[in-house]
Amino acid sequence: MDLAFTPAEHAFRAEVRRFIGDALPADVRRKVQAGEALEKDDFARWHDVLFKQGWAAPNWPSQYGGPGWNAVQRHIFSEEQAYGWAPRLPPFGLVMVAPIIMEFGNDAQRARYLPKILSGEEWWCQGYSEPGAGSDLAALDTRAERDGDHYIVNGTKTWITFAHYADWIFVLVRTNPSAKKQEGISFLLVDMKTPGVTVRPIETIDGGREINEVHFENVRVPLDNRVGDEGAGWTYAKFLLEHERTGTAGVARCRQQLVQLKERMAADGIDDERFLDRLAIVEIELDALAYTELRTLAAESAGKRPGPESSILKIKGTQIQQALTELALDAVGPYVDPLAANAYFNYRKTSIYAGSNEIQKTIIAKRILKL
């Protein structure tokens, strides 16, 4: 594996860095750098800037309006967004449902949904987890029963990020309750304005309001809104989760947090040896994770899709993110810097979403170690 970037790739990095430096709204940059919560307008303005530049969907092929970048260019763009304190656009439309529609949807679905996802005209959220089906996602109980040319959907989804902003939700539903639990699941696209859809906010321990419960009561969803074959939703969900887990490592953003923490330590004169030892361990693990990410990048550049290796990135990436927030909180204390406390609490969830770290260890054991 060649870890050296080519002159063309260095030139591309410089182009991206200049663009972000010039185009990112100053108030959005300040909020990201300070760790403040972003509103829909903050994301929407940055999305609009990137869309006009042709860079809103780095992972999309050019035939659907993406820049057609290769894996290395996408990696560089992600790094430079982090280094430039640009917000990561909500992934539910651009990174999650769009590749599913491209891969498994039909032409009518691609024409209807992809342009509005790309432009930011329509926002999406993800309807996977339920009160009784989180890590064991295949145990989901939301039902979709046939009624002519519609499904009638009943059930509840929970921990739904940005559902209060979303125009659409992609939902895993049980269409065949008598089949094995992985085989009776289908993938539906649901308009959030459909009668019977109710969004209930959930306030998190840090005071945030980004997650919600979404309840479906006799919601009529056209059969045309099913992606792919009935009963094949579990296959599509696994395809989506591999891409989601690959993006959770957050190496570049962790490096930015590490720099901030060191600056804070220098300003406050923190030189406790035990604290410095903890910091050094995290920094070493972050370097190791960066090489693992590059190995995954090299495989993707060779035409391979993300596989079980994405689980390694997910586990270590979230562990490092949590360790950094713990160090930041220990350095300043919750009463000195409430934002540090909020970040600490908020990052507790990272080891749970996209499949808990315990589930990822099982995937690694079965598919990599062959245990």
> Would you say residue 102 lies in a domain?
no
Do residues 99 and 91 touch, judged by C-beta distance below 8 A? no
Average pLDDT along the chain:
89
Contacts of 366 (CB under 8 A, 6+ apart): none
pLDDT at 305 > cutoff 60: yes
pLDDT at 351 > cutoff 80: no
Distance, C-alpha 180 to centroid of its chain: 29
Q: Is 98 helix (H, G, I), strand (E, B) or coil?
A: helix
Q: If we measure between CA atoms, which residue out of 95, 98, 129, 133 comes closest to residue 116?
A: 98
The Cβ of residue 9 has, within 10 Å, a number of other Cβ atoms equal to 15
* Residue 244: pLDDT band with limits 50, 70, 90: low
**Concatenated DSSP letters of 265-293:** HHHHT---HHHHHHHHHHHHHHHHHHHHH
Residues 320 and 288 in one domain: yes
Note down the domain range covering 166.
124-236
Q: Which of 79, 130, 244, 300 is catalytic?
A: 244
Domain boundary among 63, 89, 115: 89
Domain boundary among 37, 69, 89: 89
pLDDT in tens, 198-217: 999 998 877 788 999 999 99
Helix axes 251-268, 273-301, angle to 10 degrees: 160
> Would you say residue 116 lies in a domain?
no
Residues 167 and 232 in one domain: yes
Active site residue 244: yes
Residues 232 and 252 in one domain: no
pLDDT at 317 > cutoff 70: yes
Residues 230 and 253 in one domain: no
- Bridge partner residues of 190 (DSSP): 169
Residues 255 and 361 in one domain: yes
pLDDT of the residue at 358: 78
Count how many domains the chain has: 3
pLDDT in tens, 6-53: 999 999 999 999 999 999 999 999 999 988 889 999 999 999 999 999
Considering only 167-171, 180-184, 294-298, which range has the smallest mean pLDDT? 294-298
* Residue 1: pLDDT band with limits 50, 70, 90: very low
pLDDT in tens, 170-196: 999 999 999 888 889 999 999 999 999
Going along 203-337, which residue ranges are E strands? 211-222, 226-227
pLDDT in tens, 122-141: 999 999 999 987 767 788 99
Q: Is the dihedral of CA 182, 352, 143, 93 positive or negative?
A: negative
CATH of the domain at 333: 1.20.140.10
Q: If we measure between CA atoms, which residue out of 330, 221, 209, 321 comes closest to residue 268?
A: 330
Domain boundary among 236, 259, 286: 236
Residues 230 and 304 in one domain: no
pLDDT at 289 > cutoff 50: yes
According to DSSP, residue 133 is labeled: B
Residues 299 and 255 in one domain: yes
